[in-house]
Amino acid sequence: MEKNLETDIIEGLKLGKEEAFQYIYKIYYSDLCRIAKGYLADSYLSESIVGDLIYSLWENRSKIEIHTSLRSYLFRSVANKCINYLQLEYVRRETSCSQDDIEAFSDLWSMGDNPLQDLEHAELVSIIRNTIETMSPETKQVFLLSRFENKKQKEIAEIMGITVHTVKYHMGSALKKLKESMELYLPFII
């Protein structure tokens, strides 16, 4: 990119000119997603992280100091966001779901007083517990905040420092895992 054009884009961004923001999005979005996917191996999550980065760039435009090329700044920023995400996920992976959370979830499937139903209930609870434990730490946290603490998607996003879009992704992933693990039981539950 030509030095004058890059300076104009950065200055335009700082001044809040949408054309500068759109230019950055148009020119760099796919490359940033490719870099993120290299770290995360997940297209959807990569797009979400790049979306967060670009949104953050716009929100903090007046405070941004770019001392390298715009391209280098953006590439380094997306790499840092991915590394931060992976570090956070590692920490969350070490944190397991509490027994109270699992019991609260299992109470949702109260099947009745019949011994056969109680046995089915116990088996379902076991499947649910195991499924929750196999979720990624971030997906598990989103699910528990949503289902056990009745948090709205926006609240979860604020608590976890992610976008609402990412919250939706993790909820979809959690519900899909639960559905798959209880596939044989769904006709009886419904």
**Which domains occur in the chain, in start order?**
3-93 (1.10.1740.10), 95-189 (1.10.10.10)
**Pick the residue with more confidence: 64 or 125?**
64
Integer Cα distance of 57 and 59 in angstroms: 6
Q: What pLDDT sits at residue 31?
A: 93
Quote the pLDDT of residue 184: 63
| Residue the block writes with tokens 């996003």 | 157
The residue that leads in pLDDT, 87 or 136, is 136
Structure pTM?
0.49
Q: For residues 68-85, b (16+ Cβ closer than 10 Å) or e, as one string?
A: eebeebbbebbeebbeeb
Q: Residue 187 has what pLDDT?
A: 47
pLDDT confidence tier of residue 146, bands split at 50, 70 and 90 = confident
The pLDDT confidence band at residue 34, using thresholds 50, 70 and 90, is: very high
Q: Say yes or no to pLDDT of 80 above 80.
A: yes
**Percent of the chain having pLDDT more than 90?**
9
**More reliable by pLDDT, 160 or 188:** 160
Six-digit token string for 116: 């056969």
Region 47-57: mean pLDDT is 87
